[in-house]
Structure 1
Amino acid sequence: MRLAALALLVLAQPAFAEIHEVKMLNRGDSGPMVYEPAFLQIAPGDTVRFLSSQPGHNAASIDGMLPEGAQAFRSRLNQDFDLTLDVPGNYGIKCSPHYAMGMVMLIRVGGAPAVHLPDDLPKRARERLDAIIAAHP
């Protein structure tokens, strides 16, 4: 009887959300002005921690690249930033000062539909997002 009660307690515990770390870099493995990693697949309720390991960067949502019901966001420059994502879908992320230089990433929360890219993306941002999407269909 005690064993059954213990098993129920263990099984009834909620799953713990994970914390995923993303570095904001002047130069990384894939070139200048990058997030590493440039793509994350996470579960609803997980947190993404953006690490300000080099000066001049932030993390902000890209207009037109948030799931319906998700809130737009923007971190402060040169500061670590925790972002908990509860709404399933695709989140486009940019570094505000380096957006035109292609400093973008994609976070997929849960099983998300195909990614739609806004028409007004800067050329380098579009190229990087196209490469990320092609590598993670």
Structure 2
Amino acid sequence: MLFKGMLVVWFIFTSSVGFAKDWQIQMLNYGSGTEGMTFEPAFIHAQLGDSITFVPSHSGHNVQSYVVPEGESQWKSALDQTYTIQVNQEGVHLYYCPPHLMMGMVGVIQVGDAINLDALQQKAPRLRSKVALKPERMDALLEQIVTQ
């Protein structure tokens, strides 16, 4: 009987946290192809409880949130440091590399449904106005957001 109870507890625990994924996003001077100053992947569709680790594959990069879902805290990494966040609210995260924003180094994380789309649509143009090179990169990322 004790074994069956322990098995039930183990199943419940592994069902709720056992399937969380750890995404790796590389911060690169040059990505695949000819894209300079980029995150790879630059768009991910994560699930609640997933963690996202930003890896500075080249020096001179860090990552900072610009838009986060309600209930999530803004975040910013130190320069040249690996940084991990856990996503616990549905919605869209828009983030960028502060030293390379003007070069279009931006990324998007969608967690479940894009419930904060209105806030994102209000704030994104302000960030885009600071991108001097490749502003269409940000447009392409925002177009990947899945809405219902």
Is TM more than 0.5 here? yes
Aligned to 1:26: 29
Moved over 3 A (4+): 1-11, 123-126
Instruction: Give the number of the structure whose residues are more often helix, by fraction.
Output: 2
1:118 aligned to 120, 124, 129, which one? 124
Give the structure-2-normalised TM-score. 0.78
For residues 144 and 126 of structure 2, what CA distance do their matches in structure 1 show? 22
Give the Å deviation of 1:15.
3.0
For residues 2 and 92 of structure 2, what CA distance do their matches in structure 1 show? 45
Deviates more, 1:95-104 or 1:114-123: 114-123
For residues 28 and 92 of structure 2, what CA distance do their matches in structure 1 show? 22
Percent of aligned pairs sharing the same letter: 31
Give the Å deviation of 1:85.
1.5
Aligned to 1:40: 44
**CA displacement, residues 59-87 of structure 1 (integer Å, 9 cap, x when unaligned):** 1011xx22122211110011111111112
Q: Gapped runs of 5+ residues in structure 2?
A: none
Aligned to 2:93: 91
Q: For 2:55, give the aligned amino acid.
A: L
Q: Secondary structure at the match of 1:21?
A: strand
For residues 87 and 126 of structure 1, what CA distance do their matches in structure 2 show? 28
8 Å Cα contact 1:99/1:125 also seen in 2: no
Q: For 1:22, give the aligned amino acid.
A: I
8 Å Cα contact 1:101/1:125 also seen in 2: yes
Q: Secondary structure at the match of 2:137?
A: helix
For residues 112 and 125 of structure 1, what CA distance do their matches in structure 2 show? 24
